[in-house]
Amino acid sequence: MKSFLILITVLIMGATLLGEQSSSKFQLGGFLIYIFRVTTTLLTGWLINGYILTHSSPQLVGFKRYALAIALSMAAIFVINFVLDSLVPDHYMAKREVGYESFAEIQQHIGASFFVSLICYIVFYSTHTNTVLQDTKYKNEVLEQNHLRAQLISLQQQISPHFLFNSLSTLKTIAQDQPTKNYVVQLSSVYRYVLNFNERYLTPLKEELSFIKSYIYILNERFEESLEVHIDIDEAQLELLIPSLSLQLLIENAIKHNTISPEQPLHISIFSPEPYSLRVENDFQPKNIPENGTGMGLKNISERYKLLANRSIDIQNDQRKFSVTIPLLKP
């Protein structure tokens, strides 16, 4: 709208300065009618071009869309000017009138309509493109910030001193045999995946699940039979994508906020309720004393989905089960 107002102002001032009327013959009524004509004409071209250029359609792509925008706005401008000429034939800024009696006069009106339509198209297209580029740049910056925040959350939860202490304590309790080696291998796999997190925003589900299995192995050494994680994913979905570390954040969220004990084990299920979605579901057994936390895990996943694919996550809690369903994205 700002560009539209600037365009009207420039055209009115230019026509006023270059007009044939002298200051002694200035007529306020005629000048106001002239402003109304210019505003109506430009607004028509602006709205039609704007609507067609901002509303996508499978049948209108590329040159077809641009040609249709200019053609429709040109036709509408011609009709509006014909109506205005019929109602208000005197032109305050015009040296002579151009009627509609001959083909040559109609050609002049068509040419003028095309010229105005083209101006509206060029200005709107330039403004719209610049706005889209600025919006894309902003989204990329926000995405980068969320990506870094997710890494920070993961580092705080996954490789925090508390987590390292638990891992090392578990190592001390394991005998110097094959289980020890297995534990170290899985722990190395977890660290390797987290360290590679910076390289990409999206990860194939197959790789994320491989990392999650190593992560679950470590958790099971800590919680033993108090934690049960069941994974049931169709092989055809393994090449689909999810934001990196999403599953780890969801599992960590379930462990953080629920009671885990031999008397009350925590069951977590990872499955696909639909072809392009993944659900992490756990028993709802909140701790008597809730843990302090930033509450940024679920929010971070939600924001990254909006920025990466303009999709949302679904959170459900029926007091028996707590579940988070996230979309699986095509490569």
Cβ(236)–Cβ(326) below 8 Å: no
Residue 223 pLDDT greater than 80, yes or no = yes
Place of tokens 């994913």: 233
The pLDDT-based confidence of 325 (bands split at 50, 70, 90) is very high
Q: Whole-angstrom Cα distance, residue 247 to residue 111? A: 61
pLDDT in tens, 17-73: 444 444 444 456 666 666 777 777 777 777 777 777 777 666 666 677 777 777 888
Which token pair is 105?
A: 């006069």
H helix or E strand, kind and range, residue 265? none
Burial per residue of 158-173, b for 16 or more beta-carbon CB atoms within 10 angstroms, e otherwise: beeeebeebbeebeee
Residue 200 has pLDDT above 70, yes or no: no
CA 217, 203, 317 angle in degrees (round to 5)? 65
Alpha helices in 159-201 (DSSP H): 161-173, 178-195
pTM for the full predicted model: 0.51
User: What share of the chain in percent tops pLDDT 70?
Assistant: 70
Cα distances (angstroms) measured from residue 311 to each of 103, 319, 322, 327:
55, 26, 20, 7
The confidence score (pLDDT) of residue 22 equals: 42
Q: Which domains does the chain have, with CATH numbers?
A: 2-135 (no CATH), 159-327 (3.30.565.10)
Q: What's the mean per-residue pLDDT of the chain?
A: 76
Query: Cβ distance 204 to 237 under 8 Å?
Result: no
User: Residues 63-86: what's their mean pLDDT?
Assistant: 77
DSSP code of residue 323: E
